[in-house]
Chains A and B, each alone.
Chain A
Amino acid sequence: MLYINCPHCGMRSQNEFSYGGDASVKRPELNKEVSDQEWDSFVYNRKSLRGKHLELWQHISGCRQWIKVERDTATHEIFRTFKADEEVA
């Protein structure tokens, strides 16, 4: 069982959360010419890191906020959690 520290609600079990994938992926900017290659990368291509991975989760059975979680994909250890709009150093 993973325990995720929601920045809004505190420590909760993974049952309350839904996974949202790699949080480092950036959507191409609006009002700008976007090549097929850029869209392809944004929609489909992922690094899928082994080790520290910054990812999105939604506290779907709690505050329903999207949050960022820094988690190790090899050990499942969770290091830090952030609000969705927080910059991660």
Chain B
Amino acid sequence: MQKYSIFNLVKNAFSNHQNWDLAWKDPTPKEEYDVVIIGGGGHGLATAYYLAKEHNITKVAIIEKGWIGGGNVGRNTTIIRSNYMHDENGLFSEFGMDLWRKMSQDLNYNVMFSPRGIINLAHSDAQMNAYARRGNSMRLNGIDAVLLNREQVKEIIPMADFSDNVRFPIFGGLMQPSAGTARHDAVAWGYARQADSMGVDIIQNCEVIGFDVSAGKINGIRTSRGNIKAKKVGLCVAGSTNILAEKLNMTLPIETHLLQACVSEPIKPVLDNVVTFGAGHFYVSQSDKGEMVMGGDLDGYNSYAQRGNLPTLQHVLTEGIAMMPFLSKLKMLRTWGGIMDMSMDGSPIIDKTHIEGLYLNCGWCYGGFKATPASGWTFAHTIAQDRVHELNAGYSLNRFSTGHLIDEKGLGTKTWIS
């Protein structure tokens, strides 16, 4: 593989950048693989990469219905954080933070990781107490957390509404300084390029239409480009999880919902951090291009549409304007939607299934992007060793029947309760 470096950049400049190698190949599916990963998004690509890198399993195919990185890894708001209270989520995400910090070097691809800090705003004394508790839990798990009072928040984000007569005054906030953002597409492309260079076949425009299961064991998959035999199959398909589960006669604690995001026109640098509104569900950061990147609630009903409706967008942006009134002066540049695999407790599932050789990675709700490296790493471990790693032991499929839910914020599918 051609290394991306300043020297290669200069060298290729002499040929007008016409002779760069393709970042990944376009192979035809082989008859058989050791592992087939269904879903060429961030998690699937990361899984294939860590299978090759950590477990030396390279007879791997990624099967993608569309093009790689065209789903949620290309549609998210690029936030990376590990500000969780529960041990399962905190330790898992903090492990991921370590991978994020090394990612650009590791992948030889600039993912533009920018640890600019995230601030969750508090709007009542009770919320400050809750944040103090969460911050303490985070610090016990080795995650950085700083409780900010109103004045400290004002120093960092003076453009927020600190006037006295607002419905939700800012009391303070909880900050994770090491959280941040990254260039989402680069993450998918970086993993794809490295996985490909280690022998993984990235097969695009290939839809899975069925599974070959006999005697409780997976033997392969049927696709629009022919049958493929596989010893092990990993499902990494986010919002399409239920569609594939139905072909396996599985009913999962997952519903597919619509989540929108939007960006404003680009403006000069104004916001250094990621900021979330504490009296609703709204978050904002500023991209390197200057756009304000914003998002919030689900549209609230089951959907596979990948495009949203205006009432939710209006609701979300109303919260944004309550938090930072200057946002009302900006023009909207783009809005888009993606389909989320919403689990019933708001936490993901990375586990084996009742079918031997079939592994499940789903339920990422609002937080799939930041989990990309940790999800790929632990899913690769689960597939390669045929047992879960201690980092994803809590993300079991049967926790719903045994009662071991991880209800971090109660943010599952049931938005109408909140």
Contact = CB atoms under 8 A, between A and B. Distances in A.
Interface of A: 1-2, 13-15, 18-22, 36-37, 40-41, 43-50, 53, 55, 71, 73-76
Interface in B231-290: 242-243, 246, 251-256
Contacts of A71: 301
B302 A73 contact: yes
Nearest to A14: B311
A22 B413 CA distance: 11
Size class of the B contact interface (CB-based, 8 Å): 20 to 34
Contacts, number: 73
Nearest to A58: B416
A73 B309 contact: no
A76 B416 contact: no
Nearest to B246: A47
Interface in B298-350: 300-305, 309-311, 344
Interface of B: 242-243, 246, 251-256, 300-305, 309-311, 344, 400-401, 413-416
B254 A48 contact: yes
A7 B355 CA distance: 44
Given A47-B242, A50-B242, 19 more contacts: A1-B310, A1-B311, A13-B311, A19-B416, A21-B255, A21-B413, A40-B401, A41-B251, A44-B253, A44-B401, A45-B252, A45-B400, A46-B253, A46-B413, A47-B246, A49-B242, A49-B302, A50-B243, A55-B301
A14 B251 contact: no
Contacts of A20: 416
Contacts of A21: 255, 302, 413-414
Contact of B401 (A18, A22, A37, A47): A37
A43 B413 CA distance: 12
A2 B301 CA distance: 11
A47 B244 CA distance: 11
A38 to B, nearest CB: 10
Contacts of A50: 242-243, 256, 304
B300 A19 contact: yes
A73 B304 contact: yes
Contacts of B254: 46, 48
A2 B253 contact: no
26 contacts: A14-B309, A15-B311, A18-B300, A22-B255, A36-B401, A37-B401, A40-B400, A40-B401, A43-B400, A44-B401, A45-B400, A46-B242, A46-B251, A46-B252, A46-B254, A47-B246, A48-B302, A49-B242, A49-B302, A50-B242, A50-B304, A73-B302, A73-B305, A74-B304, A74-B305, A76-B309
A63 B254 CA distance: 31
Contact of A47 (B251, B301, B416): B251
Contacts of A15: 311
A44 B310 contact: no
A45 B250 CA distance: 9
Q: Which secondary structure dominates chain B's binding surface? A: mixed
B243 A18 contact: no
A22 B302 contact: yes
Nearest to A69: B301
A55 B302 contact: yes
A74 B311 CA distance: 18
Contacts of B415: 19
Nearest to A15: B311
Nearest to A18: B416
Contacts of B302: 21-22, 48-49, 53, 55, 73
A66 to B, nearest CB: 12
A47 B247 CA distance: 11
Task: Pick the 6 closest A-B CB pairs, nearest first.
Answer: A44-B253, A40-B401, A48-B242, A45-B251, A44-B400, A19-B301
A48 B256 contact: yes
Nearest to B307: A76
A24 to B, nearest CB: 12
A37 B256 CA distance: 22
Nearest to A37: B401
Nearest to B302: A73
